[in-house]
Amino acid sequence: MHFKPILKDFLALFFPRICPACESEVLNDESITICLTCMMELPTFDIDQFDNASNVVTNKFHGKVKVSNGTALYRYNKNARIQRLMHKIKYKEGQNIGMYLGRIFGNSVHQLSWSQDIDMIIPVPLHPKKLRIRGFNQAEKIAVGLSETMYKPINIEILQRSIFTETQTRKSRIQRWKNVQDVFEVREDKILELQGKHVLFLDDIITTGATMESGIKALLEAGASEVSVATLALAE
């Protein structure tokens, strides 16, 4: 007799797995915590568009800072299941979800011609104070999954967030830009590791692009040859 399936079914009666996107119960035979319906219906981008230098991601930064390439997995819409999903990965119970989605994203990015030139993945860092409060960096968890399927290394030491900022929620484009202006810096003892490198700069979600803009500027000024941008979700 196989006791593990029986025990799993028994525990599910009292501790059902809930999909973080639609909040419905996840079936026992589904290997991930996101239900298969949501995985099929989450609003994804056509990956082929991101082989062009000009696309919905790079256009966020046009005329502000130089971005070589850009890509995204999901279209972000407020008051939809994608908003609930992106909210969940910011908390400890969502760490595995972030890594799982990162693997899916990495499989897509790996198909893009320019991805072969990437030297390293740098997730947007959190300020140490916020990292202590949250316990982990959700962009870093996504980067782990991305790295596994892109076969590219992650570097979390080069770029640091030197200024603690207020949340960007409910701020206008101008307010967001002022809130994150010059908040990132490249560590002096890591500058040589960045010289001449093509960086894939990663975040969980891009709305106005103000946070990414500040980080891209810091990386280019410190000697990165190119910066491309990846985000799990993009608000168009």
pLDDT tens-digit map of 97-109: 899 999 999 999 9
Q: Using 50 as the pLDDT threshold, list the residues of the chain that sit under it.
A: 1-15, 30, 168, 171, 176-177
Strand 120-123 relative to strand 226-234, pairing: unpaired
Report the alpha-carbon distance of residue 27 to residue 49 in Å, rounded: 34
Asked whether the CA dihedral 214, 215, 221, 226 is positive or negative, the reply is negative
The pLDDT of residue 229 = 98
Residue count of the chain, please give it. Answer: 236
- For CATH 3.40.50.2020, list the domain ranges present in the chain: 42-234
CA distance linking residue 104 with residue 92, whole number of Å: 20
* Cβ(35)–Cβ(22) below 8 Å: yes
pLDDT for the residue 139 = 96
Give the CATH number of domain 42-234; options: 3.20.20.480, 3.40.50.2020, 1.10.1060.10, 3.40.50.970: 3.40.50.2020
